[in-house]
């Protein structure tokens, strides 16, 4: 069976071994992948005057379990290329349907299930190990991923005293990363549409020997090739809004895994925090609640 990689490159690499009918499909997908990504196997077959079974066999010949599997990877490629206006148009089904809430939440649940079934435990715990050993931990997430990076930094500051949240501002992100070295680690959070500045920052830190752990949506994400460890969480949502529920959940698991490893070290700190919170009434602890 052929080795799977980028779906377009996979098709190009295996074009010569495809049947005549499959080559017709291959040419259409390569030239019109933005359309093929949203066509059913039956619809694609009708357009190309081939049978639905030929479309399925085409996907199987490229080591996909079926056309939906291949189609999913096509969608991952184009999601980062779609403009906000195009995403808005694709979300018409949500806007016109009275079950909008159910559809969106069901998609979030589907992303959670896919993430759980596909999680790479070796990569996850390697990321935990690298983070625990790092001299300094830099956290980077820009654009829509910025709230994820802020959330991660907020909780990791309870566990470590070497957290540096990288953010755009008076000091450019490259200036904030100039001191990184081989003893440090950068935790990168990036989901479509991928921030070009984030990817440039990863390229820069790698020249300094800094280890990179990326939380992203797939192994074909541009952050993956720039990372020592990639942690995948699905964020599929063909709309101008991305589903970041699964990334948030996996991030919670990452924080808890780190906390468990540092439990003895952080217990006294949390005891002191509880004293401070209570003394200075940080939280509302009304008896009526």
pLDDT in tens, 131-173: 999 999 999 999 889 989 999 999 999 999 999 999 877 678 9
Q: Determine the Cα–Cα distance for residues 200 and 190; give it in Å rounded to an integer.
A: 12
Asked whether the beta carbons of 240 and 87 are under 8 A apart, the reply is: yes
pLDDT bracket for residue 214 (50, 70, 90): very high
| Residue 107 confidence class, pLDDT cut points 50, 70, 90 | confident
State the CB neighbour count (10 A cutoff) for residue 227.
22
pLDDT digits (tens, 9 = 90+) for 185-198: 999 999 887 889 99
The domains of the chain, with CATH numbers, are 7-79 (1.10.10.10), 117-261 (3.40.50.10490)
- Quick one: average pLDDT of 244-254? 94
Stated length of the chain: 289
Structure tokens at 212: 């990179």
Q: Which residue has the higher pLDDT, 29 or 165?
A: 165
Residue 24: the pLDDT is: 93
For residues 210 and 191, what is the distance between their CA atoms, to the nearest angstrom?
21
CA 30 remoteness from chain centre? 24
Residue 110: which pLDDT band, with cuts at 50, 70 and 90? confident
User: 188 near 223, Cβ under 8 Å?
Assistant: yes
d(CA 259, CA 112): 22
Q: What is the DSSP letter of 120?
A: -
pLDDT of residue 240: 56
Query: What does pTM read for this prediction?
Result: 0.70
Q: Where are the alpha helices (DSSP H) in the chain?
A: 7-14, 20-31, 33-36, 41-48, 52-61, 67-79, 84-90, 92-96, 100-118, 121-133, 146-156, 173-176, 196-207, 245-261, 263-279
More confident residue, 220 or 159: 159
Nearest to 274 by CA among 150, 157, 164, 158: 158
Q: Pick the closest to residue 221 from 239, 247, 185, 245 (CA basis).
A: 247
pLDDT of 233: 93
Query: Of 23-37, 76-90, 242-256, which range is least confident?
Result: 76-90
């Amino acid at each position: 069976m052929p080795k799977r990689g980028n779906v377009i490159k996979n098709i190009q690499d295996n074009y010569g071994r495809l049947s005549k009918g499959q080559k017709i499909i291959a040419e259409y997908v390569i030239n019109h992948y933005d359309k093929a990504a949203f066509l059913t196997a039956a619809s694609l077959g009708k357009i190309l005057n081939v049978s639905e079974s030929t479309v399925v066999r085409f996907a199987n010949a490229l080591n996909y379990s079926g056309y939906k599997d291949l189609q999913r990877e096509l969608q991952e490629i184009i999601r980062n290329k779609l403009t906000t206006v195009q995403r808005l148009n694709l979300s018409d089904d949500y806007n016109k349907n009275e079950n909008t809430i159910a559809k969106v939440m069901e998609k979030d649940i589907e992303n959670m299930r896919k993430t759980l079934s596909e999680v790479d435990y070796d990569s996850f715990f390697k990321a935990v190990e690298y983070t625990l050993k790092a001299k300094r931990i830099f956290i980077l997430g820009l654009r829509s991923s910025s709230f994820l990076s802020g959330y991660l930094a907020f909780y990791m500051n309870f566990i470590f005293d070497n957290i540096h949240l990288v953010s755009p501002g008076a000091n450019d992100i490259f200036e904030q990363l100039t001191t990184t070295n081989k003893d440090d680690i950068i935790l990168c959070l990036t989901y479509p549409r991928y921030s070009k500045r984030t990817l440039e920052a990863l390229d820069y830190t790698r020249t300094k020997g800094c280890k990179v752990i990326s939380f992203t949506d797939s192994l074909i994400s541009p952050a993956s090739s720039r990372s020592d460890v990639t942690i995948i969480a699905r964020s599929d949502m063909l709309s101008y809004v991305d589903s970041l529920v699964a990334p948030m959940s996996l991030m919670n698991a990452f924080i808890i895994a780190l906390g468990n490893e540092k439990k003895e070290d952080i217990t006294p700190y949390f005891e002191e925090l509880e004293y401070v919170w209570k003394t200075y009434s940080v939280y509302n602890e009304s008896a009526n609640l």
